Chains A and B, each alone.
Chain A
Amino acid sequence: MKTISALAFVGLTLAGITYAQDTNVYYLPFDPKAYFGVQAKASARQEQLEFAKRLPECRPAELDPDGHWGAVICGFQMGLRFSTNTFVLGEPIEATVIIRNTTTNSLTLFAPQAESLQILVTNGSKDVLPESPKKLMISGPASLRFPERRQLRYSLAMDKKVIFPAPGTYHIKVKRLVQADTGNGNVELSSTAARLVLLPRNGTSRP
């Protein structure tokens, strides 16, 4: 078993080195700015590339096992990550949701608002916990144009989005609808499930 783990680690490391040398494999952050000139855009891209090289979340899904990347749907892929898999019940639980364009074409993400993200939580008995009731306050653009291999990052206060009733182990995933550029209706895009352990507020033992 140890041998297999070690081999897997070596394999992942070698793959990481290979990718590090190929700047085309990183996913760059979505850039909300307007560039009229080629030079400024190229300069910004270079900075973003250097930024992306430092972040695991900018790597392809196969090199980012903590990213909980789901299947590629209509060219999009969604991931979910936490800084740790153990939190104390009642304390902030920050989640990062990333939607990326995996293609070499521009894609349009409709309704890019964070409100479009649906959070699905199951506990040990597979019950789906309800999202906190919300009143929608929408503003902003109706869609975002994603250039090739760009990704948009959302930060979610998971503890405010979901009511966690008690300490325990939960599985969380995020989904939303996306629309193919061909306009063939909405299709569900989701992350894979992340496992979280919530400890009691005054205790440190695992439930």
Chain B
Amino acid sequence: MAAFTIACTDTGTNTGGADEGKPIAYRFADWKVRSDTDGDIYDGGGCYSHDITHSWHAREERFKINFYTGGNSSGSATKLFAIFGTATKLESPNSPGSRLLSPEEITIGGFGTPDSYGYVYATLAADQTVDVTPKARVDYYTGGAGGTEVKVRIFDANTGAELTDKTTTVVVGQQINLYCTVSVPAPVQPTNYQWNVPGFAISNYIASVNSGTVYSNFATILTNVVFYWVDGATNRAVTCSATVHGQKVVGEAKFTIKRPNVQMTTQAPGAIAADANYIYNIRAGTSYTFLHFGGATSGTSFTPGIKFELLSTDIEGPLFFIQTGHSRESDMATNGITYVGIGDGVDNGVDPNDYIYPLDGSFPGFVADDSPATSLSSSFTNVNRSDSYTTHLMFQATNAAAIAVPIKKVDWSWSATAVLTSAASNVWNVISATPPLNPVPLNSTSYPTWTNHMQPIKWTPPL
């Protein structure tokens, strides 16, 4: 805690001076005869005022104001202080009259002449004591000193709570909306505001069926800053700095950013086949022949191609899947034309006008799965399908204005080629098949991005 104290220094000298012609008493004279106690008034701190004027005095004792800069600084090793000093010239035999001295007529400690508002600005180390005594080039004057730390304070704009020098716990995706203030004597205006936000922080993430876009940049040179953290951390320090009288001041707030620890499994139990034993046929009442990865039925159950199961999480908030990828199919037709279908983007598996990949109600708990397939007809003789996907697990905090953040991702792919073996009965044979190779969920901070929905597949030439 910064503090001002008054002390007096006994210089040990005993220099004589000329007799003062006018017997007049002054308190707060900064000099008196060391051995002369007649008329002393104790002012504390070892200082005396002296209200008896003699015909002789020596410069023995000096009034002094010390300033202790306080404990450890935050954000940097130094602090900026605004120190003001005032001095009033007192009447003396050789200089009649009293008046308030202008700032230009005084100095404050070793910091020079104050500005026109009476302040000097000094960057000082913590835990240091410095002399801030106002000095004037007159024999008799009184004065004082005071001041304050020029402190940058950081606040939560959503709640109004001050966060300076504290550690605040937040959740990934939670909107962090901060502003900082600088306590500086008017009318000084701080300049060059600068926020430092470490970690993976973004401006926004906006997802729709048409696009998933990460907005990375956010303004860091204003008095406020708005962003979202994607990654977790403990005691991550955000600083706001500004320049006051050419000197940099820094405020700091620390954050512990919690990120959900989600237990999730991935399996790829499905087989690649070309037949009508595909779950869609059973459920939709159709009888198409499909080239499919997974989805084979047995009784009332089926085996999905790939299956993602959420087991637990330690932070409440909705979890959901977004699947993006690339699908390519090459269909050689009986007319000699090869049709190539390509789809890129988000794939929600149900409606090409939505982007969140829904859970499968066929399983208890929270399970998403995929069993991609393409219908086969005897108008074609050779069909090759090659897909690669990333299935992202997203989390959205329950706080107002929170955005979704990626938690895990699973990269997986499958490819196969089927050839028509009986045009009459539309029978196909799989001649090559590559199912996903041991797909595993990995922790991820990579956002899914897309600029269109994977469906409908775009065919060249048009089918």
Contact = CB atoms under 8 A, between A and B. Distances in A.
Interface in A106-139: 108-116, 133, 135-139
Nearest to B368: A141
Contact of B318 (A33, A136, A144, A146): A33
B348 A140 contact: yes
Given A34-B366, A40-B318, A183-B300, A141 B358 contact: yes
A116 B362 contact: no
Interface stretch (B71-79, B212-220, B371-379): B371-379
Contacts of B292: 138
Nearest to A160: B456
Contacts of A145: 359, 361
Interface stretch (B33-41, B82-90, B188-196, B309-317): B309-317
B17 interface: no
B48 to A, nearest CB: 69
A41 B455 CA distance: 30
Interface string B366-404: 101111111101000000000000000000101000000
B370 A40 contact: no
Nearest to B317: A40
A85 to B, nearest CB: 21
Contact of A136 (B279, B288, B313): B288
A33 B374 contact: no
Nearest to A109: B361
B350 to A, nearest CB: 5
Contacts of A153: 351
Range, interface on chain B: 35 or more
Contacts of B359: 32, 34, 141, 144-145
Range, interface on chain A: 35 or more
Contacts, number: 152
B463 A135 contact: yes
B355 to A, nearest CB: 10
B347 A116 contact: no
Nearest to B297: A142
A204 interface: no
B320 A33 contact: yes
B398 A33 contact: no
Given A141-B361, A142-B295, A44 B318 contact: yes
A115 B290 CA distance: 14
A115 B373 CA distance: 12
B360 A110 contact: no
A88 B56 CA distance: 112
B131 to A, nearest CB: 59
Nearest to B295: A142
A84 interface: no
A179 B283 contact: yes
B351 A35 contact: no
A30 B312 CA distance: 22
Nearest to B279: A142
Contacts of A13: none
B280 A141 contact: no
B450 interface: no
B439 interface: no
Nearest to B360: A141
B283 A136 contact: no
A40 B361 contact: no
B279 A144 contact: no
B405 to A, nearest CB: 14
A114 B317 contact: no
Interface string B270-314: 000000001110011100101010010000101010000010110
B362 A141 contact: yes
Nearest to A44: B318
Given A136-B374, A140-B350, A141-B349, A32 B358 contact: yes
7 contacts: A32-B320, A135-B375, A138-B375, A140-B357, A141-B368, A142-B295, A154-B351
Given A32-B358, A137-B372, 18 more contacts: A34-B319, A36-B313, A36-B366, A39-B316, A40-B316, A109-B361, A114-B351, A135-B463, A136-B375, A137-B375, A138-B290, A138-B374, A141-B369, A144-B360, A154-B353, A155-B351, A160-B456, A177-B285
Q: Which 9 A-B pairs have CB atoms at the shortest separation, nearest pair first?
A: A140-B349, A145-B361, A37-B316, A111-B283, A141-B360, A32-B358, A110-B283, A155-B353, A111-B284
